[in-house]
Copies of this chain bind each other. A is one copy, B any other.
Amino acid sequence: MPPTGIPAIHLGPDHDPALARGIEEGGGRLAPLDDAEAVVWKGGPDSFPDRLPDAVRWVQLPSAGIERWFAGGIVDDERVWTSAAGAYAPSVAEHAVSLLLAGVRGLGEQARATSWRKGEFETRVGTLRGATIAIIGCGGIGRAMIPLFTAFGAEVLASTRSGTPVPGAVETVAASRNTELWSRADHFVIAAPATAETARLVDADALARMKPTAWIVNIARGSLIDTDALVRALSEESIGGAALDVTDPEPLPDGHPLWSLPNAVITPHLANPSNGLPGLLAEHVRANVERFATGEPLLSPIEIERGY
């Protein structure tokens, strides 16, 4: 993409001071849509313009997962589209590690207790020290977890589509070899994008292969886990537990067994809170505007044929 000097960027659907500052600090200027070379969008797909001017060569979307933008037929091949994948990586990584620690240390059932059940709980306390943690779909978010897990004395096995070695992981395998990880790793963090290929990646067979003390964390999308199979595994205590920030169905309906299983912890899709940990999207926008202005490759480009 050729350099454009001070690019004219439309910020929509509403003004946002932090994002405006990110655009300006990245070397861009705010412009109406009709004059814009690029669009930074902080809203959802429903309010997105039906047609973009031909001059718009780049659109920055505000979320890391972009299924709804594909489903709405908004992403086209006439310009570059970028997601916010990576922008929220530090927050999502922190949440994922928090969930795995909560699981392994038994904090879920302990938080629900209303009496001093030391003898019972103490026998189930585990540690990340010396544990092997598989990060399934080890992209930007997974890579942000590696130094965290490593600090606790754990080792990371990475699984990626290509199998290209991930720095900091003791081993990286291609997603086609995931099956061998289910029995090898002590715990799992599901961090892969939601695509047709990753739907129900964690199914009854995967669960059956896992160690009886294994915890599964999902901070990706609920569809990556077969919920019914997971509920069975948790009920039978054939795995240690599951800590899920995303569920299928989502929102998880009242009365669903996952609400009451002692070895399940649910957080309502807030690993990247919308409130929320302000500044992370603005920093991503700043970095991408700078790259746009200088003609460098943009962060987190969407590939239509890949689906994310």
Contact = CB atoms under 8 A, between A and B. Distances in A.
Contacts of A260: 114
A293 interface: no
Interface string A251-279: 11110000110000111111001111100
Nearest to A253: B116
Contact of A98 (B101, B153, B250, B266): B101
Interface string A78-104: 000000000000110011011101100
B268 A118 contact: yes
Interface in A107-144: 107-108, 110-118, 121-123, 125-129
Contact of A101 (B97, B115, B150, B266): B97
> Among A98, A128, A153, A260, which residue has the most Cβ atoms of chain B within 10 A?
A98
Number of copies: 2
A70 interface: no
A250 B118 CA distance: 11
Interface residues of A, number: 54
A259 B110 CA distance: 10
Contact of A110 (B110, B114, B268, B276): B268
A114 to B, nearest CB: 4
B148 A116 contact: no
A111 B118 contact: no
A279 B271 CA distance: 34
At the interface, is chain A mostly helix, strand, loop or mixed?
loop
A97 B105 CA distance: 11
A163 to B, nearest CB: 26
Given A107-B99, A115-B259, A267-B107, A273 B122 contact: yes
A151 interface: yes
B98 A107 contact: yes
Nearest to A150: B151
Given A91-B129, A105-B98, A115-B259, A268 B121 contact: yes
A273 B122 CA distance: 5
Given A107-B107, A115-B254, A151-B147, A122 B265 contact: no
Interface in A221-255: 250-254
A265 B117 contact: no
Nearest to A115: B254
Contacts of A266: 110-111, 113
A129 B254 contact: no
Interface of A: 90-91, 94-95, 97-99, 101-102, 105-108, 110-118, 121-123, 125-129, 147-148, 150-153, 250-254, 259-260, 265-270, 273-277
What are the nearest 5 A-B pairs in CB distance? A116-B251, A118-B268, A98-B101, A151-B151, A125-B273
Given A113-B268, A116-B254, A118-B251, 8 more contacts: A94-B101, A102-B102, A107-B107, A107-B265, A113-B266, A115-B259, A121-B270, A129-B277
